[in-house]
Structure 1
Amino acid sequence: MCVTCGCSDDAESKVTNLATGEVNHHHHHHHDDGTHTHTLLDGTVITHSHSHNDHQEASQIHAKMHGTTISLEQDILAKNNLLAAQNRGWFKGRNILALNLMSSPGAGKTTLLTRTIKDLTSKLTISVIEGDQETTNDAKKIQETGCKVVQINTGTGCHLDASMIERGLQQLNPPLNSVVMIENVGNLVCPALFDLGEQAKVVILSVTEGEDKPIKYPHMFRASEVMILTKIDLLPYVQFDVQKCLEYARQVNPEIQIFQVSSTTGAGLETWYDWLSKKVSLPVMG
C-alpha cells in the first residue's frame, strides 16, 4: 500500500506512446523491509519498520503515534521528491515549462487542454503526458489536435508520481523551448501531495461541482498557483455560487490566480492564455 494515500504500490503502471504504439510496463514493489503503516484519525500517516531491535523501541514508536505530538520517522515522499528534483532539472536544461493539471473526474481538464492546444498552436509547442487509471481515450482526443502525447495508466494508483513522469518523458521526448502539460488522474487529494518536477500546479474546478470544494480539499487549492473555473456557460442551469467559490479559494490561498472560462464558448480563455504566454516567456525556473 502507498503509505500516503492507500493506493497499491504493487500495481503495474504503463506508459503508451500513441504515435509508435510502444508500451512500457513498470511494476511497483515496496516495503520489502517489513514497513508497517498506521493512519490516525486526523489523517496523519505513520510508517515504521517491523525490524525493531527490541520491544522498548516499538513501544516508543507507538507512544509517538498516539500522543498529542506526532513525530514522523521518515519522509515518505523522499524518493519521489528526489526524482521530482531530477525532472525539474531536466525541464530547466531544455527550457521547458511543465504544468501539473489537476481536478476531480469530469471537471473538464481534457476539453480545456484540447481547446488550449488548438487555439495556441501557432504560438506555443505543447506536448502532453496524460494520466488515467485505465484507457487511452483522453490521450486519443489530445492526439487528434496534432500534438505529441503519451498515456500513463496507473492501474489501481490514484495519482501520477515523479517516477512515472520520468519514464513518460523518455517516450514523449518533448522539444526544447516548449510546454509540457501533465494531465493528472482525476482526484482532488493525492495529486496535490506528489511533486512531479513541474513549475506550477493548476487546479481545475467546474461549476457542476460544489462551490465549497476549495475548503473541502484545501491542500489541493493551497498547493496550486492557478485555479481555473470551467463550464461557466452552464451557470444559468446549475446551482453554483461563484462569489462564494472565489472567496473560499482565496481563504485557503490568498495568492491563487483565478480564471473563469468556458471551453465550449471560449469565454474567458484569453486570460488563461495570457497567463500561460507570460509564464513561457519567463525563465522556466524563474
Structure 2
Amino acid sequence: MRYAQLKAFHAVAKWGGFSRGAAKINLTQPAVSDHVRNLEETYGIQLFIRSQRSVTLTDIGRKLYVLSERLLETETAAQQLLSRARGLKEGQLIIGADAAVHILPLLQKFRLRYPEISLTVTTGNSDNLITRLERLEIDFAVIAHEQVSDQFETQLLSQDEFAAFSSKQHDFCQQDSVELAQLVTCPLVLREHGSATRALFDQACLERGLEAKNVIEIEGREAAREAVAAGLGVGVVSKAEFVDDDRLDMIEISDWDKKMSEWLVCLKSRTDLHIISALLELV
C-alpha cells in the first residue's frame, strides 16, 4: 500500500465522491480513481459501493477510514511541528558550559528574540564537554580551549584575567596581590585535570620553573570554592567566575597576565540547522 493510495481513499470517503475528493487534494479525478482501484485490487477488497450519484463506504471501508483519519491528523500535526521549528517557535537547545556565567548574556539575548525555544544549561569541564558535543548529547559547548579542528565552529565569547582567592582568615587577605612564586608555597585547592583553569595554571608554573607541592585536587568549581572557604588552601579562578561570598576574598596575581578565553563551540556539520545558526548569529 502506498501513502498516495491511502490519501486518495481518505479524500473520497471524507468528501463523499471522487470529484470532490480529487479537488481537495489537488489531483485529477482519474488519478484518484486509479489510486483507489489499485488499493482495492492489491488487497482483493471493496472499499466503496459506487452508484451514479454517490459513493458509500463498505464495512471495511469505514474501518479503514477511521485509521486513515488518525494517520492524516498525525501528518498535519507533524507539519505544524516542523513549521513551528523552522520559524523557531518550538525546539530545544542544550548548552554545556564550564561556567554558566560566560553564556548567560548571550542566552538573555536569545531568549528575548526566541522566547518559545526551551533552553537547558549543564556544566562540566572542557574535556568532558567536547566529548558530549561529539556524541550529540549537547548542541553547544562553552569552554576555555579554542578548538582548531575542522570539525568545530568556534566563536569567541569573552576574555578575563585570573586571580587567587582564599578564606578571609588566610594571610594572603592582608595583601593586595601575590606572585605565582608565593602562591605555590602554600596549600592550594585546584580543579581536576581536564579543567582549563587547572591546565593554564600548571602551564604558567612550568614556564617559570615552579612546582606546587601541596595540592588538594577537587572536582567541580563549587566543591573547590567550599574547600577554600573551609580553609583547606588557596584557589585559582578567572575573575568572571569568582562568586561574591562573605567567607572569601579575591587576590590579584601580579605576575600572571594570562587571560582566560571562553569559546562557544558547536559541530560545523550542524551549523545549517536554524536553531544552531540563530544562536551563532547573536554572538
Specify the structure having the higher radius of gyration (Cα): 2
TM range (shorter): under 0.3
TM-score (norm 1): 0.23
TM-score (norm 2): 0.23
Higher fraction of helix: 2
